[in-house]
Structure formats: C-alpha cells, structure tokens
Amino acid sequence: MLGVSSLRFAALRCHASATACGGNTSPADVGWLSFHVPEQEVDEVDTAPPENMHKWRMVIAYDGTKFKGWQYQPSCPTIQCFLENALIRITKLDRKKLCLVGAGRTDTGVHAWGQVAHFTTPFAYDCLDSIHSAINGLLPPEIRVREISAARPDFHARTSTKSKIYHYKIYNEAIMDPFHNFYAYHSAYKLNPHAMRQAAKHFVGIHDFTSFANAAHNDRERSPVKKITRFDVTEMGAVLQLEVEGTGFLYRQVRNMVALLLQVGKEALPPDIVPKIIAARDRKELAKVALSAPPHGLYLMSVNYDKEILKAPEGSPPISFGRTHQLSKCKLTFY
C-alpha cells in the first residue's frame, strides 16, 4: 500500500531503509520516532553520481514544524530522511546511489514552498506521474513534492543555483492569531514598516555578511561576501512580510538580518545601524543589539536557475505536476 498519512508510520519505515543502506545500526529514539543510526553518514554533496545515471529534479513544499530541518541526520526526523526513504522504497536503490541533494539546508522549524532537490537512478521513466504519486503517497502530509521533471546531467540543485528567495512573516497585533502560531513570528510591539524598509535597503548589494552569520561545523560557504538583490517589507493586514532575494546566504543569515530589522521596527535602533553592523564584520556586534529571529516565521519560497540549465534532455518525459482525479458522473462522492 502506497498511501501513508502519518509521521508515525513513515518513521517506522526508516528502520528498514537504514538497514538497506548497508550500515551497521543501533536504535536511537527521538520521542515516538525511532531510527537506525548508520556508523557513518553519507554526505549528500561529496557523493558524486556514477556515469550513465539519469537525473531528476523535484520541487518540494513542507511544513517544517515537526522536523529537524532538511539535512539528513541518522537519529532525527528530517525532510531529507523522509524523502530518501520514500525513494528507497520505490526505486529499490540505497541512498548512496540516489544521491539526493537539496538546494537549501533549512533549519529545524523552517518551512518551504519551493525547495529544490535532485536524485539519480540507473534507469529512466517514460512517465513521471506514477512515481510522483507514489512519492507523495509515502510521505507524511506535511511534505509534498509539487513537481518532478527530468534534469540535465550537469544540473545540480545547490551549485547550479542563481538565486534564492526567502520570506519571513511577522504577525503584528497585540493578540496572536492561533492559526498563525507555527507560521509567523508574533510581535506585540507596533512595528514601523517605513523604518524597516529604510534599514532593509542597506542590505541590498554586495557585502561581507560576517556579522550576520552563525558558525556551522558543516558550512561549506567559504566566502562571507554575498549579493542581496532585493529586500522588501510588505504590509498584508496584520502580517508584515519580509522578502529577501540573494545569490546565496550564510548560515542563519536571513534570520539574523530579520532580527536587526525587528529592532529597527520597534524603534529601538535607527535604520543606519545596518551599515555599521555590516562594516564591523563581527558577529558579536550584532549579538549586542539583536538575537536571531525564531525559525517558524521563515520560508524558502523559491530557488531560481538559469533557463538553460533547466532544459530537460531530449526525449525526456513531460514534467509532472501531479494527477487530478475526476469523478464519473454516474458515481456518488464517497464520505
């Protein structure tokens, strides 16, 4: 049966799939989730796909509330873990051959609408609708593959990236809307959007963002110099939406930039504090005035690529956006 509608049942599959990966395992429990822990984690970037493999691109949306981020961890429920286990079950390949790589390693609690990932198989598909349905059928409802398509051999979900767009939602009313509780940061202080816009303009351009980066042991971003192409502050009723686009971001850079804008919005700091913090090139300078914004307001909205790199190889099956099911006129709906 392909339909799986709960995290609990999906987590149980991780036992079998971890064993299928070929490592010696020992159980590690996280709440009610139970996973096998391989002796050595296979790194998604350092695993190069063999020649003559077919590559596939996925666009993925997820509610990050219950997950420990994107990146595979042997003892924690992550987005990559659930996707890999669905693919392992469908393709009968181990994770080393699948070479699943995501464009962005979102943190615990961070959401996504347009995460992009690729994986490889030694065989081709004539139609992608079936595997698309099968993957979503094996995933918990908080994770959905929105589309799947054939990719060029030189396409890489992370290194081929042209830009990424992140949104950060702030609910700016005295009383928090419970329906936004896990999806927006609550600020009971009345924020000044104009001041925040003035401050956000200082982020645009090419800068050394050392002051806005948290250290990460697995961060491969060597250069702290990044380009921000736009940083907008949009008012949508009670919600303030911060929209930032850039060629790349350091670890927790977006949340740290948002944290400083929140202080400006509260009028605790002037807008011109931004260039001063940037110029300091010292994370401690930001820590004196602002803490990192919580993860649940952050969304990876889009990962953008050059059109040329997105062209599918000749003879590839059509892109799948999922199949819609139509009810016959002579049948009653099922309740």
- pLDDT score at 92: 97
Catalytic residue IDs: 107
- pLDDT score at 222: 73
Q: What is the pLDDT along the chain (335 residues), one digit of tens a residue?
A: 333 333 333 343 444 344 333 333 333 333 323 333 333 344 454 455 566 899 999 999 999 999 999 999 888 899 999 999 999 999 999 989 999 999 999 999 999 999 999 999 999 999 999 999 999 999 999 999 999 999 999 999 999 999 999 999 999 999 999 999 999 999 999 999 999 999 999 999 999 999 999 876 455 557 999 999 999 999 999 999 999 999 999 999 999 999 999 999 999 999 999 999 999 999 999 999 999 999 999 999 999 999 999 999 999 999 999 877 655 555 555 44
- pLDDT score at 57: 98
- pLDDT score at 52: 81
Q: What is the CATH number of domain 7-159?
A: 3.30.70.580
In sequence order, the 6+-apart residues with CB closer than 8 A to the CB of 36 are 14, 15, 18, 19, 23, 25, 26, 27, 28, 74
- pLDDT score at 331: 54
- pLDDT score at 50: 62
- pLDDT score at 75: 82
- pLDDT score at 329: 55
CATH classification (class only), 163-301 = alpha beta
Domain boundaries, the chain: 7-159, 163-301
- pLDDT score at 219: 54
